[in-house]
Amino acid sequence: MKNNLILKKIKNLSSLFISDERGAIAVIFAVMVIPMMALAGAAIDYSQATSIKNQIQTSADSAALAGGRAFAQSDDEDYISDIAKKVFAQNMVNSGFAGTIEPTVIFLEDGIRVEATTTMPTKFLQLVGMSSLSVGTFSEIEISAAQLEVALVLDTTYSMDGSKLRALKRSATMMINTLMTKDDGGSVKVGLVPFSRYVNIGMSNRNEPGINVPADYTNGEHCTNNCSWRRVPGSSYSCTNDGAPATCWRWETYNCGTLVCYPKNYRWHGCVGSRNNPLDVRDDRYGANPVPGLLDWRPQGAWNNLCQTAPLTRLTDHKSSVISGISSMSADDSTYIPSGLAWGWRILSAQEPFSDAEPASDEITKVLVLMTDGENTVSPSYPLHDQSDENEANDLTQDLCVNIKDDDIIVYTIAFDVSDNTIESILESCAGNGGRYFDANNASDLEDAFKLIAKDLMDLRLTR
């Protein structure tokens, strides 16, 4: 409508000049009218061309990002190209473009290039012989050579038992498959820190520098009739375990035998406690102040011990090792978030106790992802975590969050089915340096959170 109105005005103006019969004016205008009309309308044609180019550029950018993520995950060029083209087409439709443009996807050594061009018919420039304009642009994405190091710090306390733990395993595994595109090698390393009351660093790490595990020993004896145990019928009652509602039972013995005494053998099963404050919220001075290993004994035939948490997985580029660690996680015991945070920080550190991480530099991006489903339910007595001062545990959680971010580590936090406002606020303030906080109310939200974190981290590796 606007273009037709301009044409009408130009025609009216020209008729005024042409009707003037004073010779020279009529001749001059007859010569100039076409160029004048072309110049007046050229701005409209070029404006329309610019608008189309912007639509193509935005769509090419989105297509290149999507293709870049696919490129980082797959060697299948047909699959990558199909992803990029579908995203381009959808973005062009969303922009209101009426036609169809088929982009070209070009594979580079470390990325992709998306090119798109169309021909736009002109309405005014055709008056001077330009019947169309070629409009096109491109977007190029490369996978950064920078190293990405990620620590997954995951709550595996009793309150995570059942469907919640299964949802966590699915979501975390999906994230690993997205980030770690190769089974071995590559520029992405991931470490896993399951935590409850304690962190289990793994029996094989007993003699690592910065760890002080006392020698196993025997002291005293434990005497028992080797009785069997059973629930007392009708004795169930409501209780809580790690802050979660549970059903408890009264138990009784039966089939007791002759009294037998056994030595108390104190052994290490992989768990470590906390260094004295303020070293428990710092990542230094391990030589003079190592992390204390915790020994315990269990009665003959007992199924549990002090160390209930699955072992951590040190920072590695072996995808199968991380996925195996996720699969082995089980839910038990109480919640002490500072324990998980401290070891997530340690596995990202190039210094002792572990030295799998690279020293901090512009070529290294370090990320910590913390997921928990509730508040701290225990606090430290040093080295044990056997007290119940929630405020102290919360303060230590906040101190660790600040110190980790001060070490230029990107922090993401996820509250999974959390109803405690205090811990939600702590988790939200803990996220930072480009990381985000997610409030996941259910398994679907949890999966979405891990997907978005994986997308963020993939985008960190894409450079235009």
pLDDT tens, 332-348?
999 999 999 999 999 99
* Tens digits of residue pLDDT in 364-392: 999 999 999 999 999 999 999 999 999 99
The verdict on residue 221 lying in a domain is no
Which helix or strand (DSSP H or E) is residue 271 part of? strand 260-272
Note whether 133 and 155 are same-domain residues: no
Domain-ending residue, one of 116, 143, 170? 143
Q: Looking at 225-259, which runs of residues are DSSP E strands?
A: 228-231, 237-241, 244-248, 251-254
Whole-angstrom Cα distance, residue 69 to residue 209? 39
Q: Looking at 108-165, which runs of residues are DSSP E strands?
A: 111-121, 132-143, 147-155
Domain-ending residue, one of 103, 127, 143? 143
CA distances from 261 to 179, 229, 295, 296 (A): 53, 18, 21, 18
Please state which of the ranges 252-256, 387-391, 415-419 shows the lowest mean pLDDT. Answer: 252-256
Note whether 159 and 43 are same-domain residues: no
Residue 407: strand, helix, or coil: coil
Note whether 62 and 177 are same-domain residues: no
Note whether 359 and 459 are same-domain residues: yes
* Phi and psi at residue 97, to the nearest 5°: -70, 130
pLDDT at 32: 57
User: In whole angstroms, what separates CA 92 from the centre of its chain?
Assistant: 29
Note whether 88 and 153 are same-domain residues: no
Per-residue pLDDT averaged across 99-125, rounded?
88
The verdict on residue 222 lying in a domain is no
Domain-ending residue, one of 119, 143, 167? 143
Residue 171 has pLDDT above 90, yes or no: yes
The rounded mean pLDDT for the chain is: 88
Q: What is the pLDDT confidence band of residue 17, given thresholds at 50, 70 and 90?
A: very low
Q: CB–CB of 324/310 below 8 Å?
A: no
Percentage of the chain exceeding pLDDT 70: 89
The residue ranking higher by pLDDT, 413 or 303, is 413
For residue 197, give every residue at least 6 positions away whose Cβ sits within 8 Å of its Cβ, in sequence order, or none.
157, 308, 309, 333, 334, 335, 336, 339, 378, 385
The verdict on residue 411 lying in a domain is yes
User: Which amino acid appears at position 186 of this protein?
Assistant: G
Note whether 137 and 174 are same-domain residues: no
Note whether 61 and 204 are same-domain residues: no
Q: What is the pLDDT confidence band of residue 405, given thresholds at 50, 70 and 90?
A: very high
Q: Which residues pair with 272 in a beta bridge?
A: 199, 293
Note whether 112 and 46 are same-domain residues: yes
Sign of CA dihedral 199, 200, 202, 203: positive
The verdict on residue 164 lying in a domain is yes
Note whether 126 and 77 are same-domain residues: yes
The verdict on residue 123 lying in a domain is yes
The verdict on residue 90 lying in a domain is yes
Q: Would strands 237-241 and 211-212 be described as parallel, antiparallel, or unpaired?
A: unpaired
pLDDT at 392: 98
Sign of CA dihedral 358, 360, 366, 372: positive
The residue ranking higher by pLDDT, 372 or 296, is 372
The verdict on residue 424 lying in a domain is yes
Whole-angstrom Cα distance, residue 363 to residue 217? 46
Q: What is the pLDDT confidence band of residue 238, given thresholds at 50, 70 and 90?
A: confident
Q: What is the pLDDT confidence band of residue 40, given thresholds at 50, 70 and 90?
A: low
Note whether 128 and 178 are same-domain residues: no
Whole-angstrom Cα distance, residue 12 to residue 10? 5
Domain extent at residue 53: 2-143
Note whether 139 and 201 are same-domain residues: no
- Looking at the structure of the chain, the number of domains it has is 2
Note whether 70 and 167 are same-domain residues: no
Residue 18 has pLDDT above 60, yes or no: no
Residue 164: strand, helix, or coil: helix
